[in-house]
Amino acid sequence: MNCPVGHYGNASDHSCYSCHTGCAACSDNTLLTCTACTNVSGTIYYKYTNANTCNTSCPYGQFILDSIPFLCQSCNYPCVTC
């Protein structure tokens, strides 16, 4: 099933439903199934490294690198903040 960006397909009823806010691609509408993030009304969402979560900031141990859109980058070892 092909659904538009920000939506996922439900095989049981053959419908498209909205992903969680900030998700450009997902498998359902929970926050933990985002596989890509997007910009919503001027707010940029970033995908966490090694997790299917999008948020407006990166978690502890990760940072935003402007050259790679919508994706948090891990700090270099042994740094926990960067």
Residue 11 has a pLDDT of 86
Residue 36 has a pLDDT of 94
In our burial notation (b when 16+ CB lie closer than 10 A, e otherwise), range 6-15 reads: bbbeeeeeee
Q: Give the residue carrying structure tokens 């919503």.
A: 40
Residue 13 has a pLDDT of 93
pLDDT along the chain (82 residues), means of 10: 89 92 90 90 93 92 90 87 82
| Cα 3 to Cα 37: distance, rounded to the nearest angstrom | 16
